[in-house]
Amino acid sequence: MKKTFLVLVASLAVFSFSSCEKCLKDCELIPAKVIRYDCDRVIFQLLTREMLGDNTWTDVNNGQVYHNVVSYYNTCEIAAITNGEYNTIYVKAEKTEQSHPVDECIQCQAISNQPPVTKMIFKEISTEPCEPVID
């Protein structure tokens, strides 16, 4: 009886995890952690297994080494969403060669100190991860 109960519980756990994975399968938002705010950009670490940004990047301000790091060129947009904190947001990211946003919110004269090479635009930004779809 005890063995049957354990098998049933294990089966339910496996079913729950596999069905949840299926629900999130089509989600295109990935976690992006703010590492640094510069005058002309925000530097993010993309928290995904897919390597989209600079493989290895060192923040020259503190010597910290990060992986999968990108530059995003709308500091004001991100600061408004995060209140200037070093939060994680969820984005649909796309590489770009663009250096500055179309409508800059500030006039920036400072040069970013050794930023990541990879530049991104965010097609979608959310403060919450994807929600599972319940069938």
pLDDT for the residue numbered 121: 92
Contact 1, 62 (CB under 8 A): no
Q: Is residue 94 part of a domain?
A: yes
Q: Is residue 21 part of a domain?
A: no
pLDDT for the residue numbered 27: 83
Q: Are strands 65-66 and 57-58 parallel, antiparallel or unpaired?
A: antiparallel
pLDDT for the residue numbered 6: 45
Return phi, psi of residue 117, to 5°: -75, -40
34's CB contacts (< 8 A; 6+ apart) are 42, 43, 44, 78, 82, 85, 86, 87, 88, 89
pLDDT for the residue numbered 21: 44
Its domain, for residue 84, covers 27-126
Q: Is residue 14 part of a domain?
A: no
Q: Is residue 43 part of a domain?
A: yes
Q: Is residue 20 part of a domain?
A: no
Which residue numbers in the chain have pLDDT < 50? 5-9, 12-24, 102
Q: Is residue 18 part of a domain?
A: no
pLDDT for the residue numbered 39: 86
In Å, how far from its chain's centre is CA 35? 11
Q: What is the count of structural domains for the chain? A: 1
